[in-house]
A and B are shown apart, each in its own frame.
Chain A
Amino acid sequence: MSHAKPLPHDAAALHVTGAARYVDDIPTPAGTLHIAFGLSEVAHGTLDALDLAQVHAAPGVIAVLTAADLPHANDVSPSAHDEPLLATDRVHYIGQPLFAVVATSHLAARRAARLGRAEITKAPAILTIDEALAAGSRFEEGPRIYTKGDAEAALAAAPRRLQGSMEIGGQEHFYLEGQAALALPCDNGDMIVHSSTQHPTEIQHKVAEALGTPMHSVRVEVRRMGGGFGGKESQGNALAVICAIAAQQTGKPCKMRYDRDDDMVITGKRHDFRIDYDVGFDDEGRICAVDFTQYARCGWAQDLSLPVADRAMLHADNAYAMPHVRITSHRLKTNTQSATAFRGFGGPQGMVGIERVMDHIAHSLSLDGAELRRRNYYPEMDSGTPPETTPYGQPVTDFVLRGLTQTLLDSADYDARRRKLAEWNAANPVIKRGLAFSPVKFGISFTLTHLNQAGALVHIYQDGSVHLNHGGTEMGQGLFQKCAQVAASRLGLPLEAIKITATDTAKVPNTSATAASSGTDLNGMAVAAACDTLRGRMAEHLADTHGGAATDITFAEGKVTIGDKVLTFAEAAQSAYGARISLSATGFYKTPDIAWDRIKGEGQPFFYFAYGAAVTEVAVDTLTGEYRILRADLLHDAGASLNPALDIGQVEGGYIQGAGWLTTEELVWNDEGRLTTHAPSTYKIPACSDRPEVFNVALWKGANPAQTIYRSKAVGEPPLMLGISALLALSDAVAACGSGYPALNAPATPEQVLSAITEVQGT
């Protein structure tokens, strides 16, 4: 059986030789044109005029397009139709595309785009959370509020109470491959689009609208992305749509890729949040009630902000059973990039909120953080207690964190290290160490219920080789390999017999984005369904031919066994073909048992939860605020892993990306609303030298009680939140410098850490 094996990434041999093609590597037909956007230099205002004479006159320019030149829909929004491809009468942020240059080369298009002049009458720009609140600038009519119990009364009655507020910065995706698209015009007005996107169907949909054609006229193909992380769920629309429009108008293939600078300035990032909290608890640290107010800075267009902010609310409990909860969520509209999906999709921000509360309580009671968290955990079902429900009313029936935590604390030698650390800190005035534990409970399913569906298409050829296709996209996470492993297991074939093929809207229609960690859960099941159909047809045919029951026929190791007769899979396929049996099948899957009312905040939004926990140790130089992660121990629940090597890769990469978000990755906008961290020289993502000196990563051994593909669990997003332990370890180290509570904001840059040290030393 192929599944559960730690096989390399499906295209590893191509990647290591430079032979794997990304959109920009696809050989283009002669005459291909290239596109660049001219961007707004003003954060908010009225677009009075565009002077594009110099752009038209620049070398290599074939056409210049403005909103007026767009023949049909001028909209690249994935949600509320509030995101024009090219600005019309108003501009909403610095970096908004105003016009598009079509030229004979990428560089010619870029050079020409700089020559455009926009006359914009400036209007006051709303940039910050406070400005948006003051102006009432928001999405939805008012805040969303989810409640459980009576938080107000329980807070008033609680033996102890703490309040606080925390700023949580956003995050640039920094997928190494920037956004890119290539449109190839076909006869009869049809269009083929290659796009670096997590959501081919959305690209198809937006391109069809923009061309004024039915979706059947547009085919979108995605072989792979050079990283996505949520940043290619909706942000690729603009490039694909302008390429298709330009291709339609010029009759030539058109290609576009953002330079890194443009990519950072134009596209959305992780939402930054402010979270206020008011928590009541008893002397043992058990939470009686918590009241959160979450402020999400959503940027200028709605994009995916509503479900992102919802998911932040849905993770405000993380792993803790709390009787009385109120969560208020403000979705604020600002004149900045439209914040978008980013690994965790709001969940990480919500989780940072409650982990901050835990950290604050532990500090106030001088209680070990791991112990405090365990006191507040949801119960596990084998303990005989009835399940507790989340603040949104879903019973938590699959909780594994009690056992998982104990295993991790043992393997990480937590208690002994906690003692040694206290000794170290007592003896060392300059370098202080911090140690922190944090758990993750992350809900798996799209909260927009209808997205929880997937399709697959499998062909068996007469030589026994298999063509595999499904609706998920490959961005490095290993989905293609996992799905091929499923197909190989289902058909009893070696992996080499399965051809993995590019995601293609003409093969599998109406796909959901590869997002919400659900790629394997959904597409793996659809692949299994298609393979089972084919195997069933072959078995019936072979039973008819050779006698016996179809259900007794086995498919394993490339052989088909019918009683004492053994055929190669190829012979079986040839036989079925000769008997005119269809050897092509689709598979379909929809997640069962989920229902969710996002307005009331009630229901069962998640099919199951994925769990994990981390222990991080840091050293902080109290003279400068510099720090280093000395050791990280991670234990993560991937269910019965389909591919432990790929899953461990997700866990390691997720942790580093999460720790980067909360420590070094700082986004800065200036007073005009210009993003000043728009290049890798100013925005610091983790480098090789930032990885923990000791890094122990393991998978929790346990099958998913929910009926997922081979009882595995989704693993894309949850491990990112293991990185929260790095921020908490910094808090622990700073706390060792004095008696005050550090109250670190994120990202906790060295300057922030130093300033927190100075503060706790003064208290």
Chain B
Amino acid sequence: MSKKTHITLKVNGKSEEFLAEPRELLIYTLRERLNITGPHIGCETSHCGACTVTVDGKSVKSCTMFAVQAEGAEITTIEGIGTPDSLHPLQEAFKEHHGLQCGYCTPGMITRAAKLLEENPAPSEEEIRFGMAGNICRCTGYQNIVKSIQAAAAEMNSSQSSSSEAVGHKTTEAAE
């Protein structure tokens, strides 16, 4: 029997330490060990994107990464992006522009979109299609998802001076 490994993570700004078998997948760590149930299990084969989280600044499908591979990493899930009382512009946009129906893909979708807008603050429609290629939605037909991302980008860019502080602050918190 293989030994358990000591793992330290920082999830949404909070340090977590635990012992886990090396085969424990990050999505199980988040959902079952840490009760962070925003990232969902959709396909468990890295295709659907429902489990997308950010690990050390990169979008990752947490169903296809062992927790032990994330040792020492900083992880952001949908819960770290905003809360119902303080929505991230993307969250506000997905809500107001109807970028969701059943909502199951939404946490992964927004987590990926947040990273996309960090990498490319003003993506073209083509760049959004390409950048969101790994996240599947079965309900919306994507029209309102693209609209939501465009609206959030516009919002974040137009109020850059004031909101960049707020967003920057949030990012810092998550990254601490």
Interface residues of chain A, those whose CB is within 8 Å of chain B, are 8-9, 11-22, 24-25, 27, 107, 173-178, 224-229, 257, 259-260, 475-478, 645-646, 648-649, 652-657, 679-681, 685-691, 695, 697
Contact = CB atoms under 8 A, between A and B. Distances in A.
Given A224-B102, A680-B45, A476 B139 contact: yes
Given A229-B138, A695-B143, A18 B102 contact: no
B82 interface: yes
Interface in B88-102: 90-92, 94-96, 98, 100-102
Contacts of B162: none
B75 interface: no
Query: Dominant SS at the A interface?
Result: loop
Given A260-B44, A681-B45, A691-B142, A18 B77 contact: yes
B153 interface: no
Interface in B31-72: 31, 35-45, 47-48, 50
B172 to A, nearest CB: 20
A657 B143 CA distance: 13
Given A11-B103, A176-B50, A653-B140, A16 B44 contact: no
Nearest to B88: A16
Query: Dominant SS at the B interface?
Result: loop
B130 A15 contact: no
Contact of B87 (A16, A227, A657, A691): A16
B146 interface: yes
A478 B144 CA distance: 15
Nearest to B135: A688
Contact of B45 (A178, A229, A679, A688): A679
Given A227-B104, A649-B98, A24 B41 contact: yes
A225 B102 CA distance: 7
| B42, B47, B103, B104 pick with most chain A CB within 10 angstroms | B103
Given A17-B83, A18-B79, A689 B48 contact: no
Contact of B94 (A16, A20, A690): A16
Contacts of B39: 18
Q: What range describes how many residues of B lie at the interface?
A: 35 or more
B167 interface: no
| B38, B110, B130 pick with most chain A CB within 10 angstroms | B38
Given A229-B138, A691-B146, A20 B82 contact: no
Given A17-B79, A17-B87, A652-B141, A176 B133 contact: no
B140 to A, nearest CB: 5
Nearest to B107: A18
A22 B142 contact: no
A19 B139 contact: no
B129 interface: yes
A636 to B, nearest CB: 13
B45 A17 contact: no
A176 B45 contact: no
| Closest CB pairs A-B (n = 6) | A18-B38, A476-B102, A226-B104, A15-B103, A656-B141, A476-B101
Nearest to B111: A18
A106 to B, nearest CB: 9
Contact of B138 (A8, A16, A657): A657
A687 B136 CA distance: 6
Interface in B108-150: 110, 128-130, 132-133, 135-146
B53 to A, nearest CB: 11
Contacts of B168: none
A690 B136 CA distance: 11
| A12, A225, A645 pick with most chain B CB within 10 angstroms | A12
A209 B53 CA distance: 43
A176 B98 contact: no
8 contacts: A176-B50, A178-B42, A226-B104, A227-B101, A227-B138, A680-B47, A685-B136, A688-B129
Nearest to B99: A16
Contacts of A19: 38, 79, 84
Contacts of B38: 17-19
Given A224-B102, A679-B43, A649 B110 contact: no
B98 A475 contact: no
Contact of A177 (B40, B107, B145): B40
A197 B83 CA distance: 28
B35 A13 contact: no
A649 B101 contact: yes
Contacts of B40: 22, 24-25, 176-177, 226
A277 B153 CA distance: 52
A646 B139 CA distance: 11
Contacts of B41: 24, 178, 257
Contacts of B156: none
Contact of B95 (A8, A25, A478, A654): A8
A687 B98 contact: no
Given A17-B91, A224-B103, 10 more contacts: A16-B100, A17-B78, A17-B82, A18-B36, A24-B31, A25-B40, A175-B138, A177-B42, A476-B103, A688-B142
A486 B108 CA distance: 32
B98 to A, nearest CB: 5
A653 B139 contact: yes
B89 to A, nearest CB: 11
Contacts of B128: 688
A19 B83 CA distance: 9
Contacts of B92: 16
A688 B129 CA distance: 5
B133 A12 contact: no
